[in-house]
Amino acid sequence: MVLEFDAIPSLIGILVLVIPSMLLGRICKHFGISEIIGFVIGGIILSPFAFGGWIQFFDRPIIELNELILSFWQIAGIIILFSAGLHFPFSSLKNAGVKAIIVGITGVIVPLALGYGISILFGIEWMVALIIAATLSATSIAAAVTILEELDKEKTQEGNILVNAAVLDDVLGLAILSSIISIVIGNALPSLELVLFEISESLILWIVLLLASIFLLPKIVHVVATMRPTSLESRGTKQATALGSAFGIAAIAASIGLNPIVGAFAAGMGIAGSKLVRQVKEFVGELQIIFAPFFFAVIGAQIDITNILSVDLSLFLVILVIAILGKILGAGVPAIILLKNKNKGLRIGYGMVVRGEIAFITAGLGLGYGIISENIFSTLIFVILGTIIIGPILLKHSFKNQDKISNST
């Protein structure tokens, strides 16, 4: 098969994004900074708005955020969240339980309410305020799990609660996004009953998908992986079957209105309870070496650094403070109360600070429908970037202090 010409620049673009971003991530790690920051900065530098647009390949920009690259980006997100789920068997979900549910819900409500309330106080129109608030509501699960894995803290009590709360946070964030679309189309606030129905529907679908993955997926994968003659045994069959199941559950999640990466996480949790988990972890861990830098580089590549001059500095600072405090107050404080431990609770709050995929979608929706101006859109994008930088620093510093205390005792 011969590749079409349009595919070749995209493949070159993937290569150009992955390698420099990976190197920048390693440099950041060497200096004690989270790799994610290096990946995102690499994406910003190589974006279509910077060097990726200035450097030409066959008379076209070397980086184009086209359908192929964005599809590959979604695949990267699925692999990252599948890998995360492999570290969290059903027992971890039971341990996190009610605590994760409370933290996940309050972690959405508080920044949403703060974002809307403060925006109204600043004289911003209610529909614009709603987009700002919704942009601040959902944590980036991919960022949260990647930071925890980087620090090797995903199996701690706070790491377990953080990841499960962030997944719930994502489900609620998409339900809010669905409500916003209804508001935009109808140009009026929907009834409380409708909003609660959409949120309840998303939660029920998530619970059903999660339970099906946990109780059925290990059996299905085991049967599929062993249903051929021993003579046809080949290296990687079990790993490929498990990874295929992640894409299958991700597709089901997307078809019922959930984020595909939430489905991939559920698939990972299902496989985590099977006998295949060790082999699959090793296999997917190798894939992440390439897919994690690419995923965060594409997030960076969506940021037009040239728009920094059009950002309203005072509004940027206010929204950034709300974005950070909203998660610390909304997720961190309830976690402190539930865990009866200030440091663990704050770490959960810090881990929830990072915004990403859903925040970009919400801000883009607001701009696309003409609700927010280019100025406010740019401000929100740089707020998202601010949380991507500040969140990992806060979380890493907090765990570092804990390790120092542990070593000195």
User: Over the chain, what is the mean pLDDT?
Assistant: 86
| Domain span at 303 | 7-408
Question: What pTM was estimated for this model as a whole?
Answer: 0.82
Residue 151 falls inside a structural domain: yes
Residue 66 is classified by DSSP as: -
Question: Sorting pLDDT into bands at 50, 70 and 90, what band is 235?
Answer: low
Contact (Cβ atoms closer than 8 angstroms) between residue 98 and residue 335: no
Residue 2 falls inside a structural domain: no
SS3 for 294?
helix
Tokens 């189309």 found at? 185
The residue that leads in pLDDT, 79 or 7, is 79
Residue 123 falls inside a structural domain: yes
Residue 267 falls inside a structural domain: yes
Contact (Cβ atoms closer than 8 angstroms) between residue 346 and residue 336: yes
Q: The tokens of 221 are what?
A: 């994968």
pLDDT tens digit sequence for 158-217: 999 999 898 888 888 888 877 777 776 666 666 667 777 877 888 888 889 988 998 888
Whether the predicted pLDDT of 20 surpasses 90? yes
Predicted pLDDT at 231: 46
Provide the domain count of the chain: 1
Residue 1 falls inside a structural domain: no
Predicted pLDDT at 342: 95
Residue 150 falls inside a structural domain: yes
Task: Give start and end residues of each alpha helix (H) in 88-191.
Answer: 90-121, 126-135, 141-151, 157-186
Predicted pLDDT at 232: 47
Predicted pLDDT at 400: 81
Residue 52 falls inside a structural domain: yes
Residue 338 falls inside a structural domain: yes
Tokens 């620093």 found at? 393
Whether the predicted pLDDT of 156 surpasses 70? yes
CATH number of residue 92's parent domain: 1.20.1530.20
Residue type, 201: E
**What gap in Å lies between CA 196 and CA 206, rounded to an integer?**
15
